[in-house]
Amino acid sequence: MVVTTPYATRANPNRQTLRFKGVKESLKKILKELSQAGIESNQYLAIPEKIESTAPHLALEPQLKMLYKNGLLIHEIDGCNGIAMRLLPIHPGLDQHPYPETEKEFKLSKFISIQPCIEGLDITTPLSPTTLRLQDHRLYPLIQKLVSPCTTEDIRTFLPEELRIQHRDVIAFLLSSGVVGICNTSNNVEIDQEAITAGWNRQDLSFHTHTRGHFIDRCKEELLPKTIDKKTPPAKHQRIILSKVSLPKPSINNQISNFYQIIQARQTIRAYSSMPITAKALGSLLWYSMHTREEITCDPGLPRSYEGLLRPTASAGGLHSIELYLCIKQCIGISPGFYHYDSFDHALGKMSDLNKPCQSMLEMAVNTTCRAPQAASVSPSQGQQPDVLIVMATRYARNASLHSETGLAYALILKDAGSIYQQLYLVATALGLAPCGLSFGSSELFEQVSGISGKSECSVGEFMIGNPK
């Protein structure tokens, strides 16, 4: 007998299967019941006895445990209003947690997220492969109570009356979900401790698990609205500009440098000479980092085919959703202001003068420089504004349309940003400029300066450029 599971792995996108050999009638019957109305947890031990007097009925228990472990069973506890709570597997690997033998205190994991759904509340944690769905609203106060450590008795009294009798099962159920855990001596939940010690916060752990998880749930993907007629937004996107400045194209001949020497020489420089950078140097930096070499069709012939680009920098899927904007404070040959780099025409489209939000961006860059612990040469109040602050902004929709199923859109955007940081560093070094990547930036300021809604294009990285001191 072959059971097709809803799960696939990132390495093998086909649904995984489970094979049973020499299947007994008893197992067939149970599998049938499990796929229809379900069975009661204590019932599965009784069923085989009725139908196969000689068969060792306990043999079924490991098989049911195996189904559970493989994320194929939904476990639920019923109350007088019907289903009170359910454990819905997200991927294989769920362990059944027994009610602890000795007196313990229990509390919510600090990594949980709560999301309302039609049936009630879905509670998940990146540390467990299951969703705890609370369907009976009388259980909601218990969740609030579990924010602080609770004894068995606390939990029992917070349960609806008809569930109190099975409070131990409820506790075992909550522990199995990973949403609730046993408190340790540091007043943390045991299952959280390793992640807490390593310094994980909830957002990062959830983003990490979401984008790096091994298993994918094919069932869920099939339920997602299909985006067949939703085309990937085009690679070329016109911004509203006031004027256009053509940039000089570099002549390759006069710039032969040893690549390995450039790698050796690359370093962050945060102190600038009084001589501003030139349009020629800026043009070369942008040309060798971001100009569009070629417009291509990715996955040609397939329904998902989309427009891609080729640039000196690599980009996942050739999407190149990141564009460069430049806050130019001073540059010989280009007037101060806020510009978009047109990578197709190798030109700058002026979007505004060097207005207040631009000044705030430059000021923020200075503060960020001083905050870098490694920036020994720059102490607070001594940071300098760069000649040019480069802002990387992404059109999220381009990645989202391609990655609606994988959920990797934002993770890949950040990886693309990393690729651009390094390219800017190396090219700036080759050109003898002073490069410095930045950690902090404000999407709100970018929105104010560019006039573009942060939902359609948002900033994800900043980079300072000037002439070295």
Ligand X SMILES: Cc1cc2nc3c(=O)[nH]c(=O)nc-3n(C[C@H](O)[C@H](O)[C@H](O)COP(=O)(O)O)c2cc1C
**Which residues contribute to the site for ligand X (CB under 6 A)?**
267-268, 270, 368-369, 372, 374-375, 421, 436-440
Beta carbon of residue 420, minimum distance to ligand X (angstroms, whole number): 10
Residue 189 DSSP class = B
Q: Burial, 199: exposed, middle or buried (Cβ in 10 Å; 0-12, 13-18, 19+)?
A: exposed
Q: Quick one: CA torsion of 453, 458, 463, 466, rounded to 10 degrees? A: -20
- Give me the least distance between CB of 267 and ligand X, in Å please: 4
Nearer to ligand X, 279 or 372 (CB): 372
Identify any residues that bridge with 117 across adjacent strands, giving them in sequence order: 120
Least distance (Å) from ligand X to the CB of residue 417? 8
Between helices 443-450 and 356-371, what is the axis angle to 10°?
150
What is the CB-side half-sphere exposure of residue 452 using CA atoms within 13 A?
A: 25
Core vs surface per residue 45-55: b (16+ CB within 10 A) or e: eebbeeeeeee
Tell me whether residue 400 or residue 436 sits nearer to ligand X (CB atom). Answer: 436
Cα-flanking dihedrals φ and ψ of residue 351, to 5°? -105, -30
Give the start-end residues of each E strand in 204-271.
215-217, 243-246
- Shortest spacing between CB 372 and ligand X, in angstroms: 3
Of 357 and 437, CB closest to ligand X: 437
Min CB(402)–ligand X separation in Å:
24
Q: Which is nearer to ligand X, 368 or 394 (CB)?
A: 368
CB of 462 to ligand X, least distance (A): 8
Report residue 208: phi and psi, to 5°: -65, -50
In 3D space, the residue among 324, 292, 335, 344 whose CA is nearest the CA of residue 421 turns out to be 324
Least distance in Å: CB of 410 to ligand X?
Answer: 16
Helix (H, G, I), strand (E, B) or coil at 133: strand
Report d(CA 46, CA 58) in Å as an integer: 9
Burial (CB < 10 A; 0-12, 13-18, 19+), residue 303, is: exposed
Residue 299 or 363: the one with the smaller Cβ distance to ligand X is 363
Shortest CB 380 distance to ligand X, Å: 12
Of 5, 3, 54, give the one whose Cα is nearest residue 25.
54
State CA 134 to chain mean position distance.
26
Closest to ligand X by CB, 102 vs 439, is 439
Which is closer to ligand X, CB of 195 or CB of 458? Answer: 458
Give the nearest distance from C-beta 370 to ligand X in angstroms: 8
- Give the H/E segment covering residue 390: strand 388-394
Q: Which CB, 268 or 406, lies closer to ligand X? A: 268
CA dihedral 19, 21, 26, 28 (to 10 degrees): 40
C-beta of 15 vs 266, nearer to ligand X: 266
Q: By C-alpha distance, which of 26, 6, 25 is closest to 16?
A: 6
Q: Under a CB-based contact definition with an 8 Å cutoff, are residues 391 and 459 in contact?
A: yes
Which CB sits closer to ligand X, 344 or 440?
Answer: 440
Report in angstroms how near the CB of residue 126 gets to ligand X at its nearest. 24
Taking the complex as a whole, the smallest distance from the CB of residue 117 to ligand X amounts, in Å, to: 37
Q: Which is nearer to ligand X, 270 or 329 (CB)?
A: 270
Whether the CB-CB separation of 183 and 143 falls below 8 Å is answered with no
Query: C-beta of 411: minimal distance to ligand X in Å?
Result: 15
Could you tell me if 232 and 317 are in contact, meaning their C-beta atoms sit under 8 angstroms apart? no
Closer by beta carbon to ligand X, 193 or else 377: 377
Of 55, 68, 414, 22, whose CA–CA distance to 207 is shortest? 414
Separation of alpha carbons 132 and 92, rounded Å: 15
